[in-house]
Amino acid sequence: MKSKIILLLISAATNANAASEKANYNTIYEAHSRRIGEVVARYIKTHDDPCLTIEVLDPDKKWNILSRKKICSINGKSFMNQVSYSDFENITFSDKGIASSLLVFPLLPAARERYDCLIPIKGPKIGALACSEPTYEYD
């Protein structure tokens, strides 16, 4: 019984931290937004975080943030410590969401991986990162 209660508390604390995790606005170097249906979607790139932050805002309710998602990994590899470099490039908006080319440098010397990706947005919901199979780039 005690282990179930502890697990629930840990789970609740993790969800609360994930929901409150936001971009450090002092370190933004790129941010763009566009209306998608009734909401406005924006992406944020910061100097201190390899993750891409996606936010959905409600323009009719004082620009409240309805949802936020940080994209910090691909295929189970964290941008924090399981790749040597990653960058979302050529980011565009469409009626389906946010599209991007994702460049990833593996930790070990190998070819760079490039993915074509989509982050679906429907109303206030931000979907999971969906990417093509990688193409490989060599020097």
Amino acid in position 94: S
Q: Is 48 within a domain?
A: yes
For the whole model, what pTM was predicted? 0.82
Q: Is 15 within a domain?
A: no
Q: Is 99 within a domain?
A: yes
pLDDT tens for each residue of 2-31: 443 333 232 333 333 334 466 788 999 999
Tell me the average pLDDT across 80-108: 97
Q: Is 14 within a domain?
A: no
Angle in degrees, CA 32, 59, 130, rounded to 5 = 50
- Name the domain count of the chain: 1
* 96: confidence class by pLDDT, cuts 50, 70, 90: very high
Whole-number mean pLDDT of the chain? 87
pLDDT tens for each residue of 107-126: 988 899 999 999 999 999 99
Q: Is 19 within a domain?
A: no
The parent domain of residue 114 ranges over 25-137
CA–CA dist 56, 43 (Å, integer): 9
Q: Is 119 within a domain?
A: yes
Q: Is 7 within a domain?
A: no
Q: Is 20 within a domain?
A: no
- 19-23, 96-100, 102-106: the lowest-pLDDT one: 19-23
